[in-house]
Structure 1
Amino acid sequence: MCTLTEHHKQLIHEIAIKNGFAEYELTIVPCLSKGGNFMGIVSAVTIHNSEKKLEVVLKSAFSYEKEKPPKMLCDAYKREIYMYTRIFEEFHKFQEEYGIIEPFNSVIKIQNYSDIEGSQCLIMENLKTAGYQLWDKTIPFNPEHMETVIKEYARFHAVSFGMKHKNPKLFEELTLPIKGHIFDNEEMFTSVDKSITYITTMFKNIYEAIADDKHLTEYAKEIENKLPQHFWEGLKRKDLKCVVSHGDCWCNNFMFKYKDSQNRITPSKICIIDWQLASLNSPLYDFAYFFLVHADKETLNKYEEYLDLYYNTLSKQLENFDCDPQEVFPYATFEEHANFYVLNHILTVTIVLKIMLCETEEAPEFSDALEDMDKMMAGMEFDIKNKEIYNDRLKDLFEFLNSRNF
């Protein structure tokens, strides 16, 4: 529901005054439909009078009037605010220090924010009015968009590697508040029994998708059996926590600008949004999540080409920071991380693809499940009209995995 609290109005008033509005009116409309954001409400706000107007976006946490907000929700907003007010500021300074010609700067501008528990929000520039557009989530990315995102992720991760190598004390201090993931303490990820239940539930979708292929079904059973130990290993591996990771790599968190807005083949600019799941992680967490969720069959079969594109872009940027890529992130380590996270994200693909392909009225509602992972997983057991497309995408994924012996 598009309503402004008094606290929201005060924050917007501060923006209005800063931008020269003595008197003004506010118009507010929803930005996203159901299923577009699971951590709050996103609204477009127009500050306007007879002479001018200013478009902003308000992203606010769900309201819990009679009870304390879920800790996970509070942590998510606190984390995103920290990313914008601290980490991106330091990343910008570090890149300027080295005179980076093609820096990572594809982040939205924050106009105001609140970190008061129960009233957490961010007020940002409106990218749509600046000409940016979302990709159609029901369609796999074309090669031009795949390349744009992968190269931008490489530039983003290069800043972490460069700072960690050149100024390790600053990097350690800067990333301490995001060292863990907001889900780290959830029983779903700390209990072997819970994780097995979670895997079994999600694999029902996979077995249905590949039911006509006996060989692929046997392969999927092998994957299902080894995933609990695989997840458990990932929780204990400190070597994977090497860069600031985006963590939420589905298409609704990328906005693209085009030289010709009617010809959306090749983007000229990208903006990466929604940093609530950011954490210290492997760069291949982001790469594998993004690639597997958005690749069609043809793109999956070019996996090695996209891996090379990422590593070559990362390497060139590390050299701009006067770093040796083979010393900072050797290719053998890169390859091992890639193999690990391709398996790690099988369930991610199963969940996110269903959300991307569902109709608005089919989308799950998670506002009352943020402290109850059992309820959240139960919410993923829903049918979609685009079931045939969903099954085809899952089958393509497992044919790819099997062909590469993951």
Structure 2
Amino acid sequence: MSSGSKKITPLFNDYLYEAIRGIAVEQGFTANLFSVDFDEESCIECDGFVSFVFKAIINGDDRELVLWCKVPPSDDPRSLALFQREVHFYREILPTFYRFQTEKGVSEATGEGFYSAPKCYLAHCSTDKDEPEAVIVLEYDESYERWDWDKLEPINVDHAKLLMRQLGRLHAVSFAMKEQNPQIFEQFKLKDVLVEGNDLVTLMRESFDRALVTMRTRFAADQEKIQRIKDTVFQVLTACADPTKSEPYCVVSHGDCWINNFIYGHDQNNVATSVILSDWQSSRYATPLLDLGYFFFLCTGAQFRQDHFDQLLQHYHNAVKDLLDRLGGDTTRQFPFTGLLQLVKPYRKLLLDGC
């Protein structure tokens, strides 16, 4: 859609068009001398249909700026609630985390802190009008790409270590702020969006039943084991996700920590060098084990966990310690390694064996 054309689908509406024009001016494009186009062919439905994602291209002043736009479905209240949570993360939580680190002398340039989220140009969601005005606009960087990994294949150690480091840093900021800026941090103790709407158990049961149908042919020999898991999984997950059972070790979590939400950077030899965590719609105040367990259970195989689980836990905790101590905290008191092991202990067999 160019600067003079009409909207071509409900996704590319007048609000979105004017929002991108505003970003163009903020980024130094000469007013009225640039064009805005939306790439329909790039439009995808994110897993779970929480949002649609597509490119916006700004051209002018002999340069081009490509952006990722995310908009929610207009007819799904559950998806809209998740989208609002992601907007809140980009507008409130992430900038506060960044400012706190910078005030402590840990800037993005030092390479020490948590800055591994996409650059956000705009995050807005208003439902006051008949047609919601909602968009998240993120940086598009060609040096990063979504890791095109077969979801049925386990992750490898090098990629897992990069993720452990960033999860450790993300959680370290929470530990530091919770003690040093408790009034501000109190605002970030948010519940699961779906728990607040009483949709979580229903969603989990629907997903589990669909998974059972899919697995009946491929994993016919494991049906008894799968049924045992179904009989207990809801009680286990509910207990694990309850922050009151994990204090004083709860943090602001990513909440949806699996392969599709990692964007890896690679060098010329295709060696993974960095990772960005995207899709923050499930971010909440929870045990660190939520992110760790989600990752290990969904992104690794049983043999991988047997071989690398303890090593990666230590790698994660080392990252917590390095940044928390750098931010003026005290890891030995606020989140010792024994504290992490205490969180893991009730779920260790489930994580290692899958049952």
Q: Indicate the residue corresponding to 2:267 in structure 1.
A: 259
Equivalent residues in 2 for 1:178-197, closer than 5 Å = 179-187=190-198, 189=200
The CA distance in 2 between the partners of 1:195 and 1:123, in whole Å, is: 29
Equivalent residues in 2 for 1:241-252, closer than 5 Å = 242-252=250-260
Equivalent residues in 2 for 1:166-185, closer than 5 Å = 166-173=180-187, 175-176=188-189, 179-185=190-196
Q: Indicate the residue corresponding to 2:297 in structure 1.
A: 292
Moved over 6 A (4+): 194-198
Q: Indicate the residue corresponding to 2:35 in structure 1.
A: 25
Q: Indicate the residue corresponding to 1:74 in structure 2.
A: 80
- For the pair 1:272 / 2:277, whether they are aligned, the reply is yes
Task: Say whether the 8 Å CA contact 1:46–1:56 is kept in structure 2.
Answer: yes
TM-score normalised per structure 1: 0.72
Task: Say whether the 8 Å CA contact 2:36–2:59 is kept in structure 1.
Answer: yes
Query: What SS does the aligned partner of 2:192 have?
Result: coil
Q: Indicate the residue corresponding to 1:132 in structure 2.
A: 144
Q: Per the alignment, do residues 186 and 63 of structure 1 end up closer, same or farther by CA in structure 2, a change over 3 Å counting?
A: closer
**Per-residue CA shift, 1:142-191, capped at 9, x if unaligned?**
22111111111101110001111222222113x14xx1111104545468
Query: What SS does the aligned partner of 1:148 have?
Result: helix
Equivalent residues in 2 for 1:76-95, closer than 5 Å = 76-95=82-101
Task: Say whether the 8 Å CA contact 1:74–1:120 is kept in structure 2.
Answer: no
With CA pairs under 8 Å and 6+ residues apart, which has the higher RCO, 1 or 2? Answer: 1
Equivalent residues in 2 for 1:2-401, closer than 5 Å = 3-18=11-26, 19-22=28-31, 23-29=33-39, 30-31=41-42, 33-34=44-45, 36=47, 38-49=49-60, 51-64=62-75, 69-70=76-77, 72-100=78-106, 101=110, 102-117=112-127, 118-128=132-142, 131-138=143-150, 139-173=153-187, 175-176=188-189, 179-187=190-198, 189=200, 202-203=211-212, 210-212=219-221, 220-234=226-240, 236-240=242-246, 242-260=250-268, 263-267=269-273, 269-301=274-306, 302-340=308-346, 400-401=352-353
Range 152-161 or range 307-316, more displaced: 307-316
The CA distance in 1 between the partners of 2:199 and 2:63, in whole Å, is: 50
**Per-residue CA shift, 1:179-225, capped at 9, x if unaligned?**
1111104545468xx97786566455566555436xxx655554433
Task: Say whether the 8 Å CA contact 2:243–2:286 is kept in structure 1.
Answer: no
Gaps of 5+ in 2: 1-8
What's the C-alpha RMSD, in Å, of the aligned pairs? 2.9
**Relative to total residues, which structure has the larger strand share, 1 or 2?**
2
The CA distance in 1 between the partners of 2:56 and 2:299, in whole Å, is: 31
Task: Say whether the 8 Å CA contact 2:164–2:316 is kept in structure 1.
Answer: yes
Q: Report the count of equivalent residues.
A: 331
The CA distance in 1 between the partners of 2:155 and 2:201, in whole Å, is: 34
TM-score normalised per structure 2: 0.82
Percent same amino acid at aligned positions? 24
The CA distance in 2 between the partners of 1:306 and 1:13, in whole Å, is: 44
**Per-residue CA shift, 1:52-80, capped at 9, x if unaligned?**
2211111111234xxxx51x233222221
Query: What SS does the aligned partner of 1:108 have?
Result: coil
Amino acid at match of 1:122: I
CA positional deviation for 1:85: 1.8
Q: Per the alignment, do residues 36 and 27 of structure 1 end up closer, same or farther by CA in structure 2, a change over 3 Å counting?
A: farther
The CA distance in 2 between the partners of 1:189 and 1:156, in whole Å, is: 25
Gaps of 5+ in 1: 347-396
Task: Say whether the 8 Å CA contact 1:188–1:198 is kept in structure 2.
Answer: no
The CA distance in 1 between the partners of 2:11 and 2:233, in whole Å, is: 44
